[in-house]
Amino acid sequence: MATTRFSFTILNRHHSGNRGADPFRHRKTTALERATKTHKTTDMTDRADNSKPDPAQPDEAALRARLTPEQFKVTREKATEPPFSGQYHDHKKAGIYHCICCGQPLFDSAAKFDSGSGWPSYHQPIDPNALTTHQDHSHGMTRTEILCAACNAHLGHVFDDGPRPTGRRYCVNSASLDFKPRPSQPGPQPPNPAR
């Protein structure tokens, strides 16, 4: 009977949407439940030990001190800079755009295009694993938010109205980016005239 009640508790939590409420929390637990809870606690402890702070995850206080107020609001609080106001919306230099928070390379200038939106736009990231996505239901609409995969910084949104070859438009806040110019490649040197 105790096994049935324990199973009901798990099902009830799963279906009720209120995972924190346990209607049986005041009753005595059986040996089977204690063993199961002990196993789960050990498993969670093991996971907690493996999820120590990642050095790539920036410290929020350090970020607040290092970033401008706009950069912090955009990357950590998911704000959006006004269109045509960011330093990279009309930027045309060759190089790589990195995450302002952690330095992760995100976009190559070769993938940048003028979308007319007022924000830097790219048809693809530098590496598919450089970004993660999340469904954003803010402001009464559904969009796909893009985040830095290394530090979870909010970058902007991706839309399916971009140019070929991908048809995607990664619409990014300038405040979330740090541009690094591509190192110039030395060309062939002219022959040294003999003296």
Q: Per-domain residue ranges for the chain?
A: 2-37, 60-181
| Residues with catalytic roles | 171
pLDDT at 193: 55
Residue (of 146, 114, 109) closest to 130 by Cα position: 146
pLDDT band at 87 (very low <50, low <70, confident <90, very high): very high
pLDDT band at 58 (very low <50, low <70, confident <90, very high): confident
Averaged over 28-39, what is the pLDDT? 42
| pLDDT above 50 for 25 | no
Residues found in the chain: 195
Q: Which CATH architecture has domain 60-181?
A: Beta Complex (2.170)
Q: What sections of 20-149 are H helices per DSSP?
A: 31-50, 60-66, 69-77
Q: Which residues contact 106 (CB under 8 A, 6 or more apart)?
A: 96, 97, 98, 99, 125, 126, 130, 131, 148, 155, 172, 177
| pLDDT above 50 for 107 | yes
pTM, rounded to two decimals: 0.67
Burial 25-38 (b: 16+ CB within 10 A, else e): eeeeeeeebeeeee
